[in-house]
Amino acid sequence: MNFNYKDVLSRILDCPTDNRTKSARDFWRKETVLFKKLYLKYQNESFWSNLNLHDCNCKNGRIPSLAFFLDKKNKYWSGVLYRKWKLFHWSPKPFSSYKPKKDIESQAFYPINKKTIRKFFDNK
């Protein structure tokens, strides 16, 4: 599987519709540079291929720019990306097997009270 960062950008960004304009070329140039900075911090192609922002506070799961993730004043979006990174790499602790003792020194006996229908309805 070949990793294509443009697919990632088109999935999570509000991209221009006409790529022939100068503003569209500037947009792609800027977002490519920002993506390379973010990729140096979060280096996993699988993470970026599966990243979506549908559960975040944005319209249609898309943001205007990757600069949101690099904003030093507003930590919300960098926190979102960090949480998604941690969730992507989370794995549960390995289960350690527990072997119970076969010989129990003191056994506890519990009284078994059989419930009848009368006791069930009289229980107040």
| pLDDT for the residue numbered 124 | 56
**What is the C-alpha to C-alpha distance for residues 64 and 110, in angstroms, rounded to an integer?**
65
**What is the C-alpha to C-alpha distance for residues 24 and 114, in angstroms, rounded to an integer?**
78
For the chain, the straight-line distance linking the first and the last C-alpha, in angstroms and rounded, comes to 67
Of 42, 37, 39, 30, which is closest to residue 4 (Cα–Cα)? Answer: 39
| pLDDT for the residue numbered 32 | 93
| pLDDT for the residue numbered 112 | 81
What separation in angstroms does the CA of 114 have from each of 90, 118, 119, 124? 47, 11, 9, 17
Confidence band, pLDDT 50/70/90 cuts, at residue 27 = very high
Q: How many residues are given for the chain? A: 124
| pLDDT for the residue numbered 109 | 80
| pLDDT for the residue numbered 119 | 80
Contact 37, 70 (CB under 8 A): yes
| pLDDT for the residue numbered 117 | 85
Of 7, 78, 10, 72, which is closest to residue 41 (Cα–Cα)? Answer: 78
pTM of the model: 0.69
Contact 12, 48 (CB under 8 A): no
**What is the C-alpha to C-alpha distance for residues 114 and 89, in angstroms, rounded to an integer?**
51
Contact 81, 69 (CB under 8 A): yes
